[in-house]
A and B are shown apart, each in its own frame.
Chain A
Amino acid sequence: MVDGTKTLGIMLFTSPYGSQDADHVCRIAERALDMGYGVHIFLYGDGVHAQLAGQDPKMFYNVGAALERIAEKGGVIKSCVRCSQARGYVDGGYDEEEDRYRSSKSLDAVRIYSLYGFIDIIKDADTLITFGSS
Protein backbone atom coordinates (compact mmCIF):
# COMPACT_ATOMS: atom_id res chain seq x y z
CA MET A 1 0.00 0.00 0.00
CA VAL A 2 1.55 3.32 -1.00
CA ASP A 3 1.12 6.65 0.70
CA GLY A 4 -0.45 8.78 -2.03
CA THR A 5 0.37 12.01 -0.26
CA LYS A 6 4.09 11.51 -0.81
CA THR A 7 6.01 13.25 -3.57
CA LEU A 8 9.00 11.98 -5.51
CA GLY A 9 11.46 14.67 -6.61
CA ILE A 10 13.72 13.97 -9.59
CA MET A 11 16.51 16.13 -10.97
CA LEU A 12 17.96 15.57 -14.43
CA PHE A 13 21.35 17.05 -15.31
CA THR A 14 22.08 15.40 -18.69
CA SER A 15 20.55 15.67 -22.15
CA PRO A 16 18.37 12.93 -23.66
CA TYR A 17 19.72 10.38 -26.17
CA GLY A 18 23.37 10.86 -25.13
CA SER A 19 22.72 8.52 -22.23
CA GLN A 20 19.73 6.70 -20.71
CA ASP A 21 19.42 9.13 -17.79
CA ALA A 22 16.35 10.89 -19.22
CA ASP A 23 14.77 7.50 -20.04
CA HIS A 24 15.23 6.40 -16.43
CA VAL A 25 13.74 9.66 -15.17
CA CYS A 26 10.63 9.25 -17.31
CA ARG A 27 10.13 5.54 -16.60
CA ILE A 28 10.44 6.02 -12.84
CA ALA A 29 8.22 9.12 -12.91
CA GLU A 30 5.47 7.39 -14.89
CA ARG A 31 5.56 4.34 -12.63
CA ALA A 32 5.42 6.58 -9.54
CA LEU A 33 2.36 8.39 -10.89
CA ASP A 34 0.70 5.06 -11.72
CA MET A 35 1.36 3.96 -8.12
CA GLY A 36 -0.33 7.10 -6.79
CA TYR A 37 2.66 9.22 -5.79
CA GLY A 38 3.12 12.87 -6.70
CA VAL A 39 6.04 13.61 -9.03
CA HIS A 40 8.05 16.79 -9.41
CA ILE A 41 10.84 16.89 -12.02
CA PHE A 42 13.41 19.67 -12.43
CA LEU A 43 15.58 19.89 -15.56
CA TYR A 44 18.94 21.55 -14.96
CA GLY A 45 22.10 22.14 -17.01
CA ASP A 46 22.03 20.02 -20.18
CA GLY A 47 18.94 18.33 -18.75
CA VAL A 48 16.88 21.22 -20.17
CA HIS A 49 17.32 19.73 -23.66
CA ALA A 50 14.66 17.19 -22.64
CA GLN A 51 12.07 19.98 -23.03
CA LEU A 52 12.66 20.43 -26.79
CA ALA A 53 9.37 20.25 -28.71
CA GLY A 54 9.11 17.95 -31.72
CA GLN A 55 11.45 15.17 -30.61
CA ASP A 56 11.16 12.32 -33.07
CA PRO A 57 13.72 9.59 -32.35
CA LYS A 58 13.49 6.64 -34.72
CA MET A 59 15.27 4.06 -32.59
CA PHE A 60 15.20 5.41 -29.05
CA TYR A 61 12.64 5.88 -26.30
CA ASN A 62 10.86 9.20 -26.98
CA VAL A 63 11.65 11.42 -23.99
CA GLY A 64 9.50 14.33 -25.20
CA ALA A 65 6.42 12.12 -25.56
CA ALA A 66 7.09 10.61 -22.13
CA LEU A 67 7.28 14.07 -20.51
CA GLU A 68 3.92 14.93 -22.08
CA ARG A 69 2.39 11.74 -20.64
CA ILE A 70 3.86 12.53 -17.22
CA ALA A 71 2.32 16.02 -17.26
CA GLU A 72 -1.04 14.61 -18.40
CA LYS A 73 -0.97 12.23 -15.43
CA GLY A 74 -0.39 15.13 -13.05
CA GLY A 75 3.39 15.28 -12.80
CA VAL A 76 4.96 18.73 -12.48
CA ILE A 77 7.94 19.41 -14.77
CA LYS A 78 10.03 22.56 -14.54
CA SER A 79 13.26 23.58 -16.22
CA CYS A 80 15.85 26.13 -15.13
CA VAL A 81 15.42 29.50 -16.88
CA ARG A 82 19.14 30.34 -16.86
CA CYS A 83 20.08 26.97 -18.35
CA SER A 84 17.23 27.25 -20.87
CA GLN A 85 18.19 30.79 -21.87
CA ALA A 86 21.82 29.79 -22.38
CA ARG A 87 20.72 26.99 -24.72
CA GLY A 88 18.33 29.14 -26.75
CA TYR A 89 14.98 27.97 -25.42
CA VAL A 90 13.67 31.26 -24.00
CA ASP A 91 12.30 33.56 -26.69
CA GLY A 92 9.81 35.59 -24.66
CA GLY A 93 9.48 37.24 -21.30
CA TYR A 94 8.02 36.06 -18.06
CA ASP A 95 4.30 35.25 -18.24
CA GLU A 96 2.84 36.20 -14.85
CA GLU A 97 -0.49 34.55 -15.51
CA GLU A 98 1.06 31.19 -16.29
CA ASP A 99 4.03 31.67 -13.94
CA ARG A 100 6.54 30.58 -16.56
CA TYR A 101 8.96 32.00 -19.12
CA ARG A 102 7.70 31.90 -22.69
CA SER A 103 9.25 29.54 -25.20
CA SER A 104 8.06 28.50 -28.64
CA LYS A 105 10.67 25.73 -28.70
CA SER A 106 9.71 23.90 -25.53
CA LEU A 107 7.01 21.35 -24.76
CA ASP A 108 3.91 22.83 -23.12
CA ALA A 109 4.32 20.13 -20.50
CA VAL A 110 7.50 21.77 -19.20
CA ARG A 111 7.39 25.09 -17.37
CA ILE A 112 10.54 27.20 -17.65
CA TYR A 113 11.05 28.52 -14.17
CA SER A 114 13.49 30.30 -11.91
CA LEU A 115 16.06 28.48 -9.82
CA TYR A 116 13.53 28.52 -6.98
CA GLY A 117 12.00 25.48 -8.68
CA PHE A 118 15.20 23.61 -7.80
CA ILE A 119 14.98 24.70 -4.17
CA ASP A 120 11.26 23.86 -3.99
CA ILE A 121 12.03 20.25 -4.92
CA ILE A 122 14.73 19.97 -2.27
CA LYS A 123 12.31 21.36 0.33
CA ASP A 124 9.13 19.59 -0.68
CA ALA A 125 10.03 16.13 -1.99
CA ASP A 126 9.72 13.21 0.42
CA THR A 127 12.37 11.40 -1.61
CA LEU A 128 14.81 13.05 -3.99
CA ILE A 129 16.81 11.28 -6.69
CA THR A 130 19.25 12.76 -9.19
CA PHE A 131 20.36 11.58 -12.61
CA GLY A 132 23.48 12.66 -14.42
CA SER A 133 25.38 14.28 -11.58
CA SER A 134 28.82 12.90 -10.82
Chain B
Amino acid sequence: MDYLCMLITKPPHSDEGAERMCGISNAARDRGMGVAVYLIGDGVLCAKRHQHGHVGAHIKRALERSMSVYASAQDLRARGIAETQVEKGIVITEDIEGRFLKDAMERASRVISW
Protein backbone atom coordinates (compact mmCIF):
# COMPACT_ATOMS: atom_id res chain seq x y z
CA MET B 1 0.00 0.00 0.00
CA ASP B 2 1.26 3.50 -0.81
CA TYR B 3 1.92 5.42 2.37
CA LEU B 4 1.79 9.19 2.89
CA CYS B 5 3.63 10.81 5.78
CA MET B 6 2.63 14.38 6.75
CA LEU B 7 4.60 16.65 9.09
CA ILE B 8 2.53 19.56 10.41
CA THR B 9 4.14 22.52 12.19
CA LYS B 10 1.32 25.04 11.69
CA PRO B 11 -1.53 25.66 14.15
CA PRO B 12 -5.19 25.36 13.18
CA HIS B 13 -7.29 28.45 12.48
CA SER B 14 -4.35 30.77 11.61
CA ASP B 15 -3.39 29.86 8.06
CA GLU B 16 -4.12 27.15 5.56
CA GLY B 17 -1.44 24.64 6.62
CA ALA B 18 -3.56 22.51 8.95
CA GLU B 19 -6.58 22.85 6.64
CA ARG B 20 -4.53 21.47 3.75
CA MET B 21 -3.48 18.55 5.91
CA CYS B 22 -7.16 17.74 6.46
CA GLY B 23 -8.08 17.80 2.79
CA ILE B 24 -5.04 15.95 1.49
CA SER B 25 -4.96 13.23 4.12
CA ASN B 26 -8.64 12.47 3.55
CA ALA B 27 -8.20 12.41 -0.21
CA ALA B 28 -5.20 10.09 0.16
CA ARG B 29 -7.24 7.74 2.34
CA ASP B 30 -10.07 7.81 -0.22
CA ARG B 31 -7.52 6.63 -2.81
CA GLY B 32 -6.49 3.73 -0.58
CA MET B 33 -3.24 5.19 0.76
CA GLY B 34 -2.01 4.68 4.30
CA VAL B 35 -1.60 8.01 6.11
CA ALA B 36 0.41 9.11 9.14
CA VAL B 37 0.25 12.66 10.52
CA TYR B 38 3.02 14.02 12.77
CA LEU B 39 2.23 17.13 14.82
CA ILE B 40 5.22 19.17 16.03
CA GLY B 41 5.73 22.77 17.17
CA ASP B 42 2.49 24.75 16.89
CA GLY B 43 1.09 21.78 14.95
CA VAL B 44 0.34 20.08 18.29
CA LEU B 45 -2.51 22.58 18.76
CA CYS B 46 -4.36 20.51 16.15
CA ALA B 47 -4.41 17.67 18.69
CA LYS B 48 -6.61 19.46 21.25
CA ARG B 49 -10.03 18.01 22.05
CA HIS B 50 -13.29 19.97 21.79
CA GLN B 51 -12.10 22.28 19.03
CA HIS B 52 -14.69 24.11 17.01
CA GLY B 53 -14.25 24.05 13.27
CA HIS B 54 -12.85 21.84 10.57
CA VAL B 55 -9.48 20.75 11.97
CA GLY B 56 -10.74 19.20 15.21
CA ALA B 57 -13.51 17.35 13.36
CA HIS B 58 -11.00 16.13 10.82
CA ILE B 59 -8.61 14.76 13.42
CA LYS B 60 -11.45 12.71 14.95
CA ARG B 61 -12.46 11.47 11.52
CA ALA B 62 -8.85 10.68 10.60
CA LEU B 63 -8.52 8.47 13.67
CA GLU B 64 -11.82 6.74 12.82
CA ARG B 65 -10.47 6.08 9.33
CA SER B 66 -7.36 4.31 10.68
CA MET B 67 -4.93 7.12 10.01
CA SER B 68 -2.11 7.33 12.55
CA VAL B 69 -1.72 10.67 14.32
CA TYR B 70 1.30 11.42 16.53
CA ALA B 71 1.98 14.50 18.67
CA SER B 72 5.23 15.68 20.25
CA ALA B 73 5.13 15.35 24.06
CA GLN B 74 7.74 18.09 24.42
CA ASP B 75 5.79 20.55 22.27
CA LEU B 76 2.53 19.77 24.09
CA ARG B 77 4.21 20.47 27.44
CA ALA B 78 5.73 23.71 26.10
CA ARG B 79 2.21 24.91 25.28
CA GLY B 80 0.65 23.79 28.57
CA ILE B 81 -1.49 21.10 26.96
CA ALA B 82 -2.09 18.12 29.26
CA GLU B 83 -2.55 14.58 27.91
CA THR B 84 -6.18 14.72 29.08
CA GLN B 85 -6.77 17.63 26.68
CA VAL B 86 -5.55 15.65 23.67
CA GLU B 87 -8.00 13.85 21.37
CA LYS B 88 -8.23 10.15 22.27
CA GLY B 89 -6.33 7.95 19.84
CA ILE B 90 -3.53 10.40 19.17
CA VAL B 91 -0.19 8.87 20.13
CA ILE B 92 1.89 11.21 22.30
CA THR B 93 5.59 10.51 21.97
CA GLU B 94 8.82 11.86 23.46
CA ASP B 95 10.73 10.83 20.32
CA ILE B 96 8.60 12.39 17.59
CA GLU B 97 11.67 12.97 15.39
CA GLY B 98 12.72 9.32 15.57
CA ARG B 99 9.22 8.01 14.83
CA PHE B 100 8.78 10.45 11.97
CA LEU B 101 12.16 9.55 10.46
CA LYS B 102 11.51 5.80 10.58
CA ASP B 103 8.24 6.33 8.73
CA ALA B 104 9.53 8.98 6.34
CA MET B 105 12.76 7.21 5.41
CA GLU B 106 11.73 3.54 5.46
CA ARG B 107 8.01 3.32 4.81
CA ALA B 108 6.52 6.35 3.11
CA SER B 109 6.26 6.70 -0.61
CA ARG B 110 5.59 10.44 -0.20
CA VAL B 111 6.38 12.95 2.55
CA ILE B 112 4.71 16.37 2.84
CA SER B 113 5.55 19.06 5.38
CA TRP B 114 3.82 22.29 6.39
Binding site for B on A (CB under 8 A): 2-3, 6, 8, 20-21, 23-24, 27-28, 31-32, 35, 37, 126-131, 134
Task: Assess the B42–A35 pair: CB atoms within 8 A.
Answer: no
Q: Check A28/B9 contact, CB under 8 A, given A3-B106, A128-B111.
A: no
**Complex CA–CA separation, A3 to B104 (angstroms):** 12
14 other A-B residue contacts (CB within 8 Å) besides A2-B105, A127-B104, A131-B9: A2-B106, A6-B105, A8-B101, A8-B104, A8-B105, A20-B9, A28-B100, A31-B95, A31-B98, A31-B101, A35-B102, A127-B108, A128-B111, A129-B7
Q: How many residues of B contact A (CB 8 A)?
A: 19
Binding site for A on B (CB under 8 A): 7, 9, 15-16, 40-42, 95, 97-98, 100-102, 104-106, 108, 111, 113
From B9, B40, B101, A35 is in contact (CB under 8 Å) with B101
From A2, A24, A134, B9 is in contact (CB under 8 Å) with A24
From A27, A129, A134, B104 is in contact (CB under 8 Å) with A129
